[in-house]
Amino acid sequence: MRDGDWLTETGARIRGVLKVMVDAGWLPGGAAVIGTGGMWEFVAVGRINEESDTAPDVAYDVASLTKMMATWPLVGQAVAEGMLDLDAPMSEYLLVDDLPGSGITARQILTHTSRLNPVTWLERYVGTEQDLSEAILADPLEEPGHRYVDRGFILLGLLLERLYGTGLDRLAADLWDELGLRSTSFGPLARSPGVAPTERRLPGAAPAWGVVHDEAAALMGGVAGHAGAFTTAIDLGAFAREMLRIHDGGDGPVPSSFVKASWRPHVDAGQRLSRGLGWLVTPEGVVYHNGFTGTSLFMHPTSGRYVGVLTNAVHYGRDRTGLADLRSAARSAVSPQAHDSTP
């Protein structure tokens, strides 16, 4: 299928799924970017709340896409600069000897095989004097195997701050500026029609709006390695385009070798999926990651096609009805069989 036809068809499909979800009252609205090469198309359906329409330049809390848009590329940058060895134990950098997690590596964290506690809950450390990185590594390790864990990326964020001697938000801001992302940042953001509110946790109270939805990231001041970033469909498309370009050998703040290694299967993640370095990899070669608030980015490195979706699917509650269908439509659109469906 020609690129232009694919853009038109995919845009119509994503728009249709979003309209069904909005009309059914499952979410207020959403925005998407569909792109390939130098072309892209934007979709915006519905509103961010009861009052304001959504648009490609509306900022959404991307939740766990923070792992891929901030922490993952910064780890690649640190590797390229010789500041971090993916296979060195945490004890080499954090000076935490004799703890259960002292020997885990950045590679294990990226592949979600670190055996760290899968329960992110950080409230139990509030009011203690224990350093958070030490607290994370002090918990008993789980059984070996692949298990999606937020704590690993929290730890990587803390590690990056130690290595560079500055905050993760500052490191990410410099990275995003180099990538050409003009509207991506950690919160807080001022409440406005340009920012989508997330969940209304307490009836009668205002929803979280411009502040991170993730409770653990909120405890960390809104800046964490696993959550806290906000972005627009425009910037999400720019990020995808830059990562695909770097993957193909282009220059950038993240080395091409790291991107290529990240998008190869490393461990079995179940459900016919593999885990690369951070990213999930499908049998068809699609790489992707989701965010709990209702965000996703799907890319197919071979064809250079991508679909990014931003919604506040938690606005009416955490059931997130219909989100699986939206993600399935985005994933199938970039799969190779979709490229060849029509001449």
- Provide the residue type at 80 as one letter: A
Three-state DSSP class for 231? strand
The pLDDT value recorded for residue 339 is 59
Predicted confidence (pLDDT) at residue 169 exceeds the cutoff of 90: yes
- On whether the CB atoms of residues 229 and 219 are closer than 8 A, the answer is no
Name the E strands within the chain: 29-36, 39-46, 60-61, 185-186, 229-231, 267-270, 273-275, 280-281, 287-291, 295-300, 305-311
Condensed to tens digits (0 to 9), the pLDDT of residues 196-229 reads 999 999 989 999 999 999 999 999 999 999 999 9
Overall average pLDDT of the 82-92 stretch: 97
Q: How far, in Å, are 28, 29, 31, 63, 178 from residue 47 at the CA level? A: 5, 5, 10, 19, 31
Run of H or E residues at 66: helix 65-66
* β-strands 29-36, 39-46 pairing: antiparallel
The pLDDT value recorded for residue 34 is 98
Overall average pLDDT of the 21-49 stretch: 97
The pLDDT value recorded for residue 96 is 83
Q: How far, in Å, are 14, 260, 280 from residue 283 at the CA level? A: 22, 16, 10
- The CATH code that applies to domain 1-48+55-343 is 3.40.710.10
Burial class (CB in 10 A: 0-12, 13-18, 19+), 118: middle
Q: What is the DSSP string of 168-209?
A: HHHHHHHHHHHHT-SS-EES----STTB------STTSPPP-
Predicted confidence (pLDDT) at residue 281 exceeds the cutoff of 80: yes
Closest to 152 (Cα-Cα) out of 243, 224, 74, 76: 224
Overall average pLDDT of the 293-321 stretch: 97
Condensed to tens digits (0 to 9), the pLDDT of residues 93-108 reads 998 889 999 999 999 9
DSSP 8-state class, residue 248: T
Condensed to tens digits (0 to 9), the pLDDT of residues 123-149 reads 999 999 899 999 999 999 999 999 999
The pLDDT value recorded for residue 337 is 78
Condensed to tens digits (0 to 9), the pLDDT of residues 151-167 reads 999 999 999 999 999 99
Predicted confidence (pLDDT) at residue 74 exceeds the cutoff of 70: yes
Predicted confidence (pLDDT) at residue 56 exceeds the cutoff of 80: yes
The pLDDT value recorded for residue 222 is 98
Predicted confidence (pLDDT) at residue 343 exceeds the cutoff of 50: no
Overall average pLDDT of the 80-105 stretch: 95
The pLDDT value recorded for residue 309 is 98
Phi-psi region for residue 188, left (φ > 0), alpha (ψ -120 to 50) or beta? beta
- On whether the CB atoms of residues 312 and 293 are closer than 8 A, the answer is yes
At residue 341 the predicted structure's pLDDT band, cuts being 50, 70 and 90, is very low
Closest to 243 (Cα-Cα) out of 278, 270, 295: 278
Predicted confidence (pLDDT) at residue 173 exceeds the cutoff of 70: yes
The pLDDT value recorded for residue 342 is 42
The pLDDT value recorded for residue 1 is 84
Closest to 308 (Cα-Cα) out of 44, 75, 23, 49: 44
